Amino acid sequence: MVVRVRPWLRRFALVFASLAIALGAAELVVRAFAPAWLRARMREVAVGRSLADWGSDADLPVEWDEGRPVRFVPGSQFTIRHDEYMHSVRIDEYGGRASGRAAGGSGPIVPVFGDSMAFGLGVRDAETFVSLMGASLPVRLVNLAMPGSNMLEQLDQRDALERRDARFSAAAWCVFVVFLGNDLTDVASAPDGGADDPGTVRASLSSWLFAANAALDEHWLVRRWYAVQWARALAVRRVNAAWSQPQLESVFAVMDRAVPLDRVRMGFEQAVDRLVRTSVRDHSTPLVIVVPDRFQVNEQLRRDKAALHGVEWSSYDARRPNRLVAETLAARGIAFVDASDCLEGRAGQYYVRDLHLTAAGHETIARCVGPFVAARLTGAVQ
C-alpha cells in the first residue's frame, strides 16, 4: 500500500526541518563564539527553574494598619522559597525577625528598619548582618525590616508601631538601612503628567516589554538557548538606542552621569527630613547603614550588564548614589556608615541572579559596620 503525502504537508515538513536545522546551527555557532556578556547572562538563567516562578516575599504573615504593613505576626514562622535559596524564618515577640537571642531579657531595644536586604532574604535567622551585629551588643536589635518597603513606608511603619506597642516609643535609638539598589528611586519625587505625557507612554511601553521579557524567561527550555538570549539582547539594544535612558536595573539610572539627580535627591531629602522630624518628636537618635547594589561593587558585572544592553559601561559612576546619600545625611547631622568599600571586588557576596546578599555578604557587612554601630549604641547605654 502506497501512502500519498499531500503536497502542502510535504512542504510544511520541509520548512519545519529546514527551520530546525537553521536554529540548531545558529545555537551551535552562538554557543561557540558567545561573548562574555552573553555567557554571564546564561549563568543567570541557568540558576533554578524559572526567572519568574515565585516571589520570595509573597504571602507572609503580616499585621496591617490602615492598609500598610506594620510588622510580622509575633511568634509566627514561615518558609522563604526562591530558585537560589530556601530557608525558614522565625518571628520574635516584637514582630521582627528572630536573631537567636533569648526572648525578653534586660537591656533597651533598638528597632531596625529596612527592606528585604536588611530582613535577610536568602539567609537564615542568625546569619543576617543585623543578627550578627546584635549578638555582642548590650542592646537588642529588633529586625523590623519589611521586604519591598522604602524609607517613607518604613517611617509610616515606625509611627504605627509606636501607637501599637509602647516599647518602641521608649527606644532611644533607631537604625535605618538604605539599600542603594532601589531605595533612592523608590522615594524619588514623581513628576506631574497626564495620560498623554511622554513619560506615561514610555512607562506603559516599558511595562509591556517587561511582561514580554518575563514571559520568555518563564519557559525553562527556551530561556536556556544561547540564540534566544542573543536575539533578546539585540531587541533590547534597539529599544535602548531609541530611548534616552536605557531600560536597566534602577540603580543604573542613579549611576548614569548623564541623568540629572534632581528628582532622586529631592525625594531622598524629603524622606530624611521626615526621619529627622520623627526622631526629634520621639527624642531618639537615628543611625543609617548604607548597603550597595551588587553592580556598584563588581566592575565585571557592570561591564557585562552594559554590554548586554548595548550601552557604554564607563558612562556609569558606581559611587554616585553613595555620594548623594552621604551628602544628604551629613548635611542633617545623621550618623551613617557605608559598607560599599568592604564589599568592593569580593566574590560570593551576592547571589548569581537574585539581588540579595549571601551569608558571606551578611558576614562581611557585619564585620565592616559592626564596630561603628557598636561604638554608638554601646556608648549610649553606658
Q: Give pLDDT tens digits for 180-192.
A: 999 999 998 654 4
Which pLDDT score, from 0 to 100, does residue 203 have? 45
Residue 347's pLDDT is: 94
What is the model's pLDDT at position 63? Answer: 93
pLDDT of residue 363: 98
**pLDDT of amino acid 118:** 97
Work out the angle at residue 240's Cα, subtended by the Cα atoms of residues 235 and 244, and round it to the nearest 5 degrees. Answer: 160
If residue 330 lies in a helix (H) or strand (E), which one and from where to where?
A: helix 320-331
Identify the pLDDT of residue 201.
36
CB 288 within 8 A of CB 173: no
pLDDT of amino acid 208: 54
Distance CA 96, CA 62 (A): 10
How far is the C-alpha of 216 from the C-alpha of 228, rounded, in Å? 9
Q: What is the rounded distance in angstroms from the CA atom of residue 341 to the CA atom of residue 335? A: 17
Residue bearing cell 533578546: 232
Which of 274, 97, 129, 115 has the alpha carbon at shortest distance from 182? 115
Q: What is the mean pLDDT of each run of 10 residues along the chain (382 residues)?
A: 58 69 73 73 61 49 90 94 88 92 72 97 96 93 95 96 89 96 86 41 49 58 67 66 68 91 95 96 96 96 86 91 98 98 96 92 97 85 48
Return the H-helix or E-strand segment holding 336: strand 335-338
**pLDDT for 243:** 61
